Homo-oligomer: A and B are copies of this chain.
Amino acid sequence: MMSMKVRGGGAFSGVLVIDLTHVLNGPFGTAMLSDLGARVIKIEPPGHGDDTRTYGPFAGQTSLYFAFVNRGKESIVLNLKEDEDRKIFINMIRRADVLAENFRPGVMARLGFSYEDLAKVNPRLIYASSSGFGHTGPLADYPAYDTIVQAMSGIMDMTGFPDGPPTRVGTSLSDLLGGLYMFSGIASALYAREKTGRGTHVDIAMFDATLAFLEHGAMEFAATGRALDRIGNRHPFLAPFDLFECADGHVAICCGNDHLFAKLCGAIGRAELANDPRFLDDVSRVQNVVALRAALEVELKKAPAAYWLTNIHAAGVPIGPLLDATQALSHPQAQARNMMIEAGGLKMTGIPIKMKGYPDEPIRAPAPDLDEHGAALREEFANGPPPA
């Protein structure tokens, strides 16, 4: 289904993206544009180029970090403080649909390349910025790294156990959300431009992006003005809805109502628990969640996870295994959905946007060597746009 083509390219076929992004946040966003068919030209600084070219883990000489988020892009080294290279950059902007950058706010303006500067050159340009705190507000200049944004956005305070410390999400969540929202904003602005004929400045903040994901934390703030306590792996108002220990590992079990709870009790050979006054309804089960968990784990610890996955699933109760990243990424479901692709001989995660009639190729173009396309691009953009 995924490879049947309506036309040659992806959703963004014909779109030219000039990519000044570096490290993780911005490149993660522009990699999705490339995945969906845009032409993405990555501009790297003289010297060693994007910092992540030196980051591990490595496959031979190749940084997987760089390879993951720069697949399918072209690379040119430009010194944006030097006249000749600035001219090439401006020639690119004249023909570009999108400029993406994730410098600290102010850096592009000091180069003479603010949105206002470049909109004069190309009013149809979509100029996308992603930064820690955005281009407005008192923290616009505040230094931001993923760990700092996670700490300041509330997500770290909400993750972890009541008796444990605040916990960082085990991935660079704020960086990646910033990149995904930047991609979304670019797609939205490209659509809007079809109607208005005008470009815009898309201004994304990792901080805003993480706030938008607080869910119960934000709802509780709106309802009571208070912060939620950390509650570990359980659900705030459904039980049992948690991760449980078996003899050899963990399973997640989710019972959203009394009916499923009764089925679960039957499946673990403790049907009478469904009639225990502490566990009669969801409100009672949440109130007695520690006792409930203990009662269930007494049984669950008697057999391995595989046993419970078969038997509790057969009873019609939602259950899933705890998988590590290796198991998750090599799962037949990840394979069937083309979520592990290959680029330059390296395996990497695919794009979750599956669109019928558009390509989702299992093999993509690799990330470029530094300045790999420099000579060709200097020739292509030596002059302004060709006559229409």
Residues in chain A within 8 A of chain B (CB atoms): 1-2, 6-7, 10-14, 24, 32, 36, 55-59, 64-65, 68, 115, 133-134, 136-139, 142-145, 147-161, 164-173, 176-177, 180-181, 183-185, 187-192, 194-196, 198, 200-205, 207-209, 211-228, 230-233, 235, 237, 241-243, 250-252, 254, 256, 318-337, 339, 346-358
Contacts and interface: CB of A to CB of B under 8 A. Distances in A.
Contact of A211 (B138, B158, B190, B349): B349
5 contacts: A56-B237, A59-B222, A136-B336, A138-B336, A181-B353
A176 B344 CA distance: 32
Nearest to A357: B200
Contacts of A212: 339, 349-352
A337 B134 contact: yes
Given A11-B189, A156-B243, A219 B354 contact: no
Consensus secondary structure, chain A interface:
mixed
A161 B160 CA distance: 10
Given A227-B324, A353-B185, A254 B339 contact: no
Contacts of A6: 196, 198, 200
Given A138-B336, A219-B348, 18 more contacts: A11-B188, A24-B215, A36-B188, A64-B223, A139-B333, A145-B241, A147-B242, A151-B320, A151-B323, A152-B252, A154-B324, A167-B170, A171-B213, A184-B184, A198-B357, A208-B350, A212-B350, A212-B351
| Identical chains in the assembly | 2
A353 B192 CA distance: 13
A354 B254 contact: no
A46 B251 CA distance: 35
Give the one of A2, A68, A212 with max B CB within 10 A.
Answer: A212
Given A136-B1, A196-B7, A159 B167 contact: yes
A68 B355 CA distance: 28
A137 B355 contact: no
Nearest to A36: B188
B137 A252 contact: no
Given A173-B213, A219-B57, A336-B138, A250 B159 contact: no
Given A217-B171, A324-B227, A211 B159 contact: no
A189 to B, nearest CB: 6
A334 B191 contact: no
Given A252-B148, A358-B200, A222 B348 contact: yes
Contacts of A164: 161, 164
Contacts of A204: 352-354
A251 B152 CA distance: 9
A203 B354 contact: yes
Contact of A170 (B143, B176, B203, B217): B217
Scoring A36, A188, A256 by chain B CB atoms within 10 A of each residue's CB, the highest score goes to A188
A192 to B, nearest CB: 4
Contacts of A218: 68, 325, 329, 348-349
